[in-house]
Structure formats: C-alpha cells, structure tokens
Amino acid sequence: MNLTFSFGPAFLEPQAWEALNRAESFEAYVQSWLALLCASIADTECAVVVLRDKETAPYTPIAFWPDEGSKTEALMKAAETALQANKGVCLRQDDVSRSQLAYPVRDDVLLRGVVALELRQLNAASAPVAMRLLQWGLAGLLLALQRAVADQKTASGESALQSILEGVAVVLENQGFHQAAMLLVTHLASVLDCRRVALGFVKSRHYALQALSHSITFSEKTQLSRALEAAMAEAGDMGRCLVFPPRLENDTPLYPAHEQLSGSFGGYTICTVPISDGVSILGALVLEREAVFDDETLNLCETVGTMTGLILSLKRDNEQGLLKRAVMQLRRGLVKTLGPGYIVWKFNGLLLIGVVAFFSVAEGVFRLSANAYLEGAVQQAIVAPIDGFIKDAPFRAGDLVTPEDVLFKLDDTEIRLEQTRLENQFEQYQSKYNNALAQHKRAEMRIVDAQRKQTTAQLDLIRNQLARTAGKTPFNGMIVQGDLSQKLGAPVKKGDVLFEVAPLDNYRIILEVDERDITEVHEQQTGNLVLTSLAKQVLPFHVVKITPVSETKEGRHFFRVEANLDRIKAPKLLRPGMTGIGKIEVGQRALIWIWTRGLINWLRVWFWSWWP
C-alpha cells in the first residue's frame, strides 16, 4: 500500500533550511532558526531572540524576525517577564488583537536567554499548540548555543595556553635573569593589553623591583618603584592574588598600597600575583590596565606568574655565588623547620633529631666483618724421596687418607736391579774373604772385608730407597693439594712436593681484615665464624696472630689475621679451604659511630688530601 504525504510551504521553507545549513556564524544560525520557527507557528507577526554567553554578561537581542524594526514594546516586555519569572508566559491585552508568547532558554548551568513571539488571533485553543511548538523548537537553539559556548571556551583555552607557553618560551630562551625578566613583562603587557607590568623579587626581606615593561632601565628610588614594591609586599603578606578595585560590590577590603598606586599613577585596574615555590613567597608580578580583570585573565596571570616566576628565580640563583646559594637554601630549610605552618617538615625534623640523639646515646657491640677461610693447623708436605718416575698415584686433592694408605709409588725397577747386582757382588766378596781366611792372608782379608762393608752399606741405601718408593701420610687427614693421576710415568726429582696433607682435627681460621679496620683488632679478641657450607652453625674463635704485612687482593688491601677455633661443633663436616664470614667483637660503641665510622674516616682522609 502506497502512502502519499503533502506539506505546505509553511512547513517546508526550503530557503530557510538552506540558510540554516549554510550558516557560517552562530548569529546567522539563530536568524535562520528564528525564521523557521516563525514559519512553523501560524499567525506570527514578529519575534526576537535574547541571549547571553556568560553568567555575568548582559542579555542582548541577537536575532529579529522579520527585521529589527518590527519589534514592539509588548514583545520586549514579554521577553523581560519570562526572564524574570524563569518560565514560559503568554500575555494578551483586552483592547489589542495581538498576543505575546515567551519562553526562557536554559540548561543545567544557567539561564541563557529567552525567545518571544507576537501572534495575532491567538485564542484558548491555539495558545497551547503554539507554546508547545515554541518549546520543541528551543531544543535546536539550545544545542547550537551549547556548541557555540564550548567552541568559545576551547578557543579561549587554546589562546590562554598559547600565551602561557609564549611567556615560558620567552624566559627559557634567554639565559640571563635581567634580560629574561624584561622580555617577560613586555610580553605580558602586549598580550594582556596592560599599561604597565612590573616584576619584583624578595631581597633581604624586602621586595626589589627587577623589571618594568617597555623600560630597559629604571631607578629603584623613584616614587613609582616604591609604590610598585609596596603593592608587591601587600600581596606577598596576604599570600594570594589581589585585584584593585574589588570586583564585587560587597568585597571591600583595604588595600592601601594598591589604592595609592592606582590613585597616583593613572587610576588603572591593578592585579598583583605572588610568586611562590611552594614553601615561601619569592616575589610578585604587578599588572595594570584599563579593562577589568575577569576570571579567565586572572587565571592566566596566576599561571604565567607561577611558571615563569619559578624559572626566573632559578636563573637569579644561578647568577649568584656559591656561598649565597648555600645561604639561601639554608634559609629556606630554616623557614620550613622554624617558620609558621609546615607541620610535616617540623615533625620530620623533630623525628630526625630524636633518632640521632637516641642512636648517639645507645650502644651496641661493634663487630668487624671480614672474609674468612679454614686452614689446617699443620700441613704436612709429602715430597719425592729420590729421582724417579711415577708408577701409581691413586689419591688426589680432597681425598681422606690414613697412615696405611699409599699416596704414590715410584718405579723401582732400576733400584731392584741395582740391589741384585750389589747382592751378587757381596757374595763374591764374602767368598774371597773366606778363601783369604782359610789361607791366613791377613792383608787380603782386610781389603776384602772393607769391600764387603762398602757393598753392605750400598745395599742398605738401596733397601732404604726401595722402602721409600711408596709414599705414605704420617697421620689421618685430607689431601689439600696435589694430583698425580694425570702424570703417571712423569719424572720427578728428589725433594719435589707431591702432596700436602692437613689433619682433620685441628684447624685455624684466616681472616682478611681491611686495612681501614686493622687498628681495631688485637690478639685474644673473640668472634664468631659462619661458613658458607654450614650457614646454620656459628663457630666461636679467638685471635692469636696479626700479620704485620698487608696483602692486595681484588683491588683492596687487607691484613692476614689468624684465629683458632675455641670448640668444634661439627668436626666431621669441617674441611680445609671452606670459606665464610667472620666477625670479630671489638667492644661496646655508640650505634651512630658504628654506622657512620666508614664515611667519617673517608671524609677525614679526603679532607686531609686536599688540605694545603
């Protein structure tokens, strides 16, 4: 089924819709919208739209229909009545055939304005219909108004941000304090349309004028300079931004310095912005102009003054000497600690003083920590008894040995051959001796007897060497050094150290004490040792010897301190070469001295090295 609708020209108005779509400004949009609204409500004679964009701004007519000359006094009265009542109204005079409809334009924030229409032949039946059409039409107007206000705020915010960034850039681009300050005040005077902008900083508890817009040089003793400094001091004492004359009628505080500055030098509106670093007031910025300082301008002045003021303060501090900067930092710290307010700083300061005082009085046991390792109290060297070749070596470093264990064997083939030769030679001499004895040849007997004794001595030496070709340890212990398993058949010379054996029941501790702490160590001091492999057991010891020669290891110097174990709790688990940490008990000392002695000693040496 096909449905066909037809609309009259009063509802379509294609030219008005086209004008509405092509509107390039908000005023043009409202004019086209009002034309469409009047075309939609029958018998409309004239209409007006009254709007404002800010709460403090006045209501202003921005659109008329059909033109500005067609407005009537009754129409404007209806608009004023609707604004005052903040609701829709319908006015009609008995002697006039025309009626007036007006309805306010409002959103969630404030009353934006009113739309008023004057109609002819309005009766009780057509009045509600006309009012309803007016209410429906206001939705489009309110949406357009909100968009226009949002665009205006965005543009205003972008402009303010640009002004802030330009002011910061002016300060940052110039390294010198005075040049940057002069360019900043001149820039602010140009951007904010000010007659005069002055910048001052606190100097010796007084405000000193540092820069004046459009003035390269100025005298600090003139009446203008003193008036500006007085206004800065007034704002600094109150710690907030001051505006003179007051913006509100009921805001009538006494600002004598600002009143004198305004009355004596042009009668301008004055805005003074204190500059603070969050702790104390550093200075102030005074702006003078003919126009009133609104909220947006005040916020811009405060932001620019705070951001650029801190940068300028840093530039000024950098141009001062090291001593002055140190005094300023000390003064700021004292202000935080002793001045009014700053409860957190005061609490932290008192807490720090209390902690330092407590640990200066409280004492504890001072223990020196040092790397430590175990050594056998005695280390027996097993050496090669003769020149020879290694035949067998079943043990190596880390093995436990007893006196019955053979650590190594040397090849005895040549020795045994020599033994056989000497034994045969001895038998020959013995036979010759017997023959000489039988023949009573005394001289020959003596000669053979001497040869026989010589051979006997050589045999004893050979037998001794054969007995020593098998090396044994003299006690139960552990091999701490030596491995011949990879040198079978290798030659050795008499006296070469083949193994080192340490007993398992007698140890000594070697402590590597740093040279900075050696003066605190003395013999017979006690301590405790914790080995890396036996972290749960504490082994007590006492110092027995301090080596008077330092050694260098891993970039530091230390002294070798020897100590003996007082008692061994785990003799089966201890092994030579175990490492750990030993702590020597020096005595009772103040806790703060224990924790700061390293830093204090380093500072003393450093100061001594630089002292002329």
Report whether pLDDT(297) > 80. no
Q: Are 49 and 68 in contact (CB under 8 A)?
A: no
Identity of the amino acid at 265: F
Look at residue 367 and give its three-state secondary structure. strand
Residue 10 has pLDDT above 50, yes or no: no
pLDDT at 403 > cutoff 80: no
What H or E segment, with its residue span, contains residue 363?
strand 363-376
Torsion sign across C-alpha atoms 92, 93, 99, 100: negative
Q: Phi, psi at residue 357, to the nearest 5°? A: -65, -40
- Residue 100: partners with Cβ closer than 8 Å, 6 or more residues away: 74, 75, 77, 78, 89, 90, 91, 92, 116, 117, 118, 119
- Please choose, from the candidates 40, 98, 51, the residue with its C-alpha nearest in 3D space to the C-alpha of residue 73: 98
Highest mean pLDDT among 142-156, 174-188, 259-273 belongs to: 259-273
Mean pLDDT of the chain: 77
Question: Per residue in 485-516, pLDDT tens?
Answer: 777 777 878 877 877 787 777 788 889 998 88
Max mean pLDDT among 134-138, 220-224, 247-251, 507-511 falls in 507-511
Q: Mind giving me the DSSP string for 470-515?
A: EEE-SSSEEEEE-B-TT-TT-EE-TT-EEEEEEESS-EEEEEEEET
Amino acid at the residue 458 = Q
Lowest mean pLDDT: which of 248-262, 362-376, 405-419?
248-262
Residue 403 burial class via C-beta count within 10 angstroms: exposed 0-12, middle 13-18, buried 19 and up: exposed
Distance CA 10, CA 40 (A): 6
User: What is the residue type of 590?
Assistant: A
**CA dihedral of residues 57, 59, 60, 63 (deg, nearest 10):** 130
DSSP label at 215? B
pLDDT tens by residue, 184-214: 777 777 777 788 888 888 877 788 888 888 7
Helices (H), 392-535: 413-438, 442-468
Q: Nearest CA to 306 among 159, 167, 166?
A: 167
DSSP state of 106: E
pLDDT value at position 86?
82
Structure tokens at 241: 């931004």
Residue 68 CB burial class (10 angstroms; 0-12, 13-18, ≥19): exposed
The answer to whether 232 and 283 are in contact (CB under 8 A) is yes
Structural tokens at position 472: 């044994």
Would you call 604 helix, strand, or coil by DSSP?
A: helix
pLDDT above 80 (res 397):
no
CA proximity to 160, closest of 194, 192, 182, 185: 192
Residues 6+ apart with CB under 8 A from 6: none
Instruction: Please state whether 46 falls in left (phi above 0), alpha (psi between -120 and 50) or beta.
Output: beta
Amino acid at 1: M
Q: Rank 31-40, 346-355, 385-394, 448-457 by mean pLDDT and report only the highest.
A: 448-457
Tokens of 559: 């002294």
- Asked if 511 and 483 touch (Cβ cutoff 8 Å), the reply is no
First to last CA, the chain: 112
The H-or-E segment that residue 471 falls in is strand 470-472
Tell me whether strands 363-376 and 579-590 are parallel, antiparallel or unpaired.
Answer: antiparallel
Place of tokens 């226009």: 148
- In the predicted model, is pLDDT for residue 253 greater than 70? no
- Integer Cα distance of 460 and 33 in angstroms: 138
| Tokens coding 349 | 């300061």
Nearest 5 degrees, angle CA 174-CA 180-CA 185? 145
Strands (E), 228-268: 242-244
Q: What is the mean pLDDT of residues 14-39?
A: 73
- How far apart CA 131 and CA 87 sit, in angstroms, is 12
**Higher pLDDT, residue 78 or 94:** 78
pLDDT band at residue 359 using 50, 70 and 90 as cut-offs: confident
Two tokens, residue 446: 């003596």
Show the tokens assigned to 7. Answer: 């609309």
Q: CA quadruple 308, 314, 318, 324: dihedral positive or negative?
A: positive
Task: Tell me what the mean pLDDT of segment 5-16 comes to.
Answer: 47
Q: With a cut of 70, say whether residue 158 has pLDDT above it.
A: no
Residue 267 has pLDDT above 70, yes or no: yes
- Given this model, what pLDDT does residue 321 score? 63
- Residue 82 confidence (pLDDT) above 80: yes
583 to each of 156, 192, 421, 559, 579, how far by Cα in Å?
71, 72, 65, 15, 13
| CB-CB contact of 157 with 42 (8 Å) | no
Q: pLDDT digits over 98-109, tens only?
A: 888 888 887 766
Cα–Cα distance for residue pair 429/421, rounded to 1 Å = 12
User: Helices in 58-125 by DSSP H: which ranges?
Assistant: 73-85
pLDDT tens for residues 558-607? 899 999 887 655 567 788 888 999 999 988 888 888 888 888 888 888 88
pLDDT at 583: 92
Helical (H) or strand (E) element with 11:
helix 9-12
pLDDT tens figures, 213-235: 877 777 767 888 888 888 888 88
Domains of the chain: 9-152 (3.30.450.40), 174-319 (3.30.450.40), 324-358 (no CATH), 380-499 (no CATH), 506-607 (2.40.30.170)
Tokens representing 295?
């909220």
The tokens for 152 are 């205006």
3-state helix, strand, coil in the chain (%, to 5): 45, 30, 25
More confident residue, 392 or 314: 392
What is the average per-residue pLDDT within 167-187? Answer: 68
Identify each DSSP E strand in 169-268 by its residue range: 196-203, 206-212, 242-244
Residues 514, 554: Cα–Cα separation, whole Å: 12
Sign of CA dihedral 490, 492, 497, 501: positive
pLDDT at 175: 61
| Other beta carbons less than 10 A from residue 456's beta carbon | 13
* Cis-peptide into 66, omega within 30 deg: yes
